[in-house]
Amino acid sequence: MTMTAPTETAAKPELTDEVSAPTVDPIELESGVRSYSRGWPAVFTHAKGSVLTAEDGSEYIDFFAGAGTLNYGHNHPELKKVVIDHYLEDRVVHGLDMFTDVRRTFLQTFDEKILKPRGLDYKVAFPGPGGTNAVEAALKLARKVTGRESVVSFTNGFHGMTLGALSVTGNSMKRGGAGIPWCTPRRCRSTTTSVRSSRTSCTSSACSPTAAAA
């Protein structure tokens, strides 16, 4: 493919640090690949403990709790202090899997407080930032250790949005959102027995990604 330079260059807006009056609704600017913000008609500004505050001053008890990750509530003073001190002391903020003193302290503390008292002979893995990364790691480990490929999963379970996690997700809406048909040769909506028993892909419209999303 060849590309020709445009004959007329559109005037580019001048880049400046100043924030002018909004000309577009910021929500309209954001991709439609969103979930909770579609159903919760509030713009949140503050959070403390189990209470979320919106910009109109309304307070909400946060039963969502970061999808279960905020065990100590929002902005717990002790946790907040550690994070702020970390930044103020110019400590390592991004380390991939380099060894750092914080990593060492975490592993030592985890061993002393969690593993040893329970007699657990486990290794620690830091799979990545999200739940779906942990699911990916579990799938890879299971395949590698057992040498098998089939995974049992439950209808309507949710494991995250990476392809591996979606491959064991029985929720057709989530699968459809990523263009993954519900159908595999072993799990096919089509009543055609030949498709059910064969290893070939199913072309039935009942199993298309669009049908899965419906």
Ligand X SMILES: Cc1ncc(COP(=O)(O)O)c(C=O)c1O
- Residue 61's φ and ψ, nearest 5 degrees, are -80, 125
- Do residues 60 and 68 make contact, with C-beta atoms less than 8 angstroms apart? no
The continuous run of DSSP H or E covering 86 comes out as helix 77-88
Size of the site for ligand X (CB under 6 A): 8
Residues in the chain: 214
Binding window for ligand X (CB under 6 A); candidates: 73-81, 87-95, 157-165, 198-206? 157-165
Quick check: 157 and 170 in contact, CB under 8 A?
yes
Work out which of 66, 95, 130, 185 binds ligand X, going by CB under 6 A: 130
Per CB under 6 A, the segment of 55-63, 86-94, 155-163, 177-185 that binds ligand X is 155-163
Q: How many CB atoms sit inside 10 A of residue 135's CB?
A: 20
Interface residue with ligand X, options 60, 65, 143, 158 (CB under 6 A):
158
Residue (131 or 176) nearer to ligand X, CB? 131
Pick 159 or 207: Cβ nearer ligand X: 159
Which residue's CB comes closest to ligand X? 131
> Shortest approach of ligand X to residue 32 CB, angstroms?
17
Q: Which one of 52, 74, 136, 159 is in contact with ligand X (CB under 6 A)?
A: 159
- From CA 14, how far away is CA 7, in angstroms rounded? 21
Burial tier of 47 (Cβ tally within 10 Å: 0-12, 13-18, 19+): middle
CB of 133 to ligand X, least distance (A): 7
Contacts 24+ apart (CB under 8 A), 102-105: none
Is residue 132 near ligand X by the rule CB under 6 A?
A: yes
Site string for ligand X, 160-199 (x = CB under 6 A): x---------------------------------------
131 lines the binding site for ligand X (CB under 6 A):
yes
Provide, rounded to whole angstroms, the least separation between the CB of residue 110 and ligand X: 20
Q: Which is nearer to ligand X, 113 or 140 (CB)?
A: 140
Q: What is the DSSP letter of 116?
A: H
Separation of alpha carbons 181 and 179, rounded Å: 6
Is beta strand 59-61 parallel, antiparallel or unpaired with respect to 51-54? antiparallel
- Pick between residue 132 and residue 172 the one whose CB is nearest to ligand X: 132
